[in-house]
């Protein structure tokens, strides 16, 4: 028995409006721009965030508990599922990580 984790992200060339909204919110919060009423001063606080956040992208993670003889065959099964069902290859890319759920399973 294995745990397969598929991480799906928009390709770098695809605009990520959700990531941009999260990035702006983080910078406002971390830059303490929430107390600033003037929009231009708020933008200055955003750009001057001491945490150094320069980019945020939002994706999704799908975890599958799956049976298979070994990690490599499970990885191939999950890649096939991701290609057909879990990711849109036109807009998204994905990675697959597989780990055994028991000591007797082979990695």
Would you say how long the chain is, in residues?
A: 107
Domain locations in the chain as residue ranges: 1-14+59-107, 17-56
pLDDT string in tens for the chain (107-residue length): 999 999 999 999 999 999 999 988 888 777 745 444 455 545 555 554 556 778 899 999 999 999 999 999 999 999 999 999 999 999 999 999 999 998 665 55
For 1-14+59-107, CATH number out of 3.30.870.10, 3.60.15.10, 3.30.1280.10, 3.40.50.720 equals 3.30.1280.10
pTM confidence score: 0.75
């Amino acid at each position: 028995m294995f745990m397969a984790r598929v991480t799906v992200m928009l390709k770098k060339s695809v605009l990520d409006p959700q990531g941009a909204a999260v990035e702006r919110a983080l910078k406002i919060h971390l830059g303490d721009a929430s107390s600033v009423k003037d929009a231009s001063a708020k933008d200055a606080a955003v750009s001057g965030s001491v945490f150094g956040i320069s980019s945020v992208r939002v994706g999704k993670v799908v975890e599958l508990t799956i049976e298979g003889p070994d990690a490599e065959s499970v990885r191939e099964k999950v890649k096939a599922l991701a290609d057909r069902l879990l990711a849109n290859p036109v807009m998204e890319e994905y990675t697959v990580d597989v780990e055994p759920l028991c000591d007797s399973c082979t990695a």
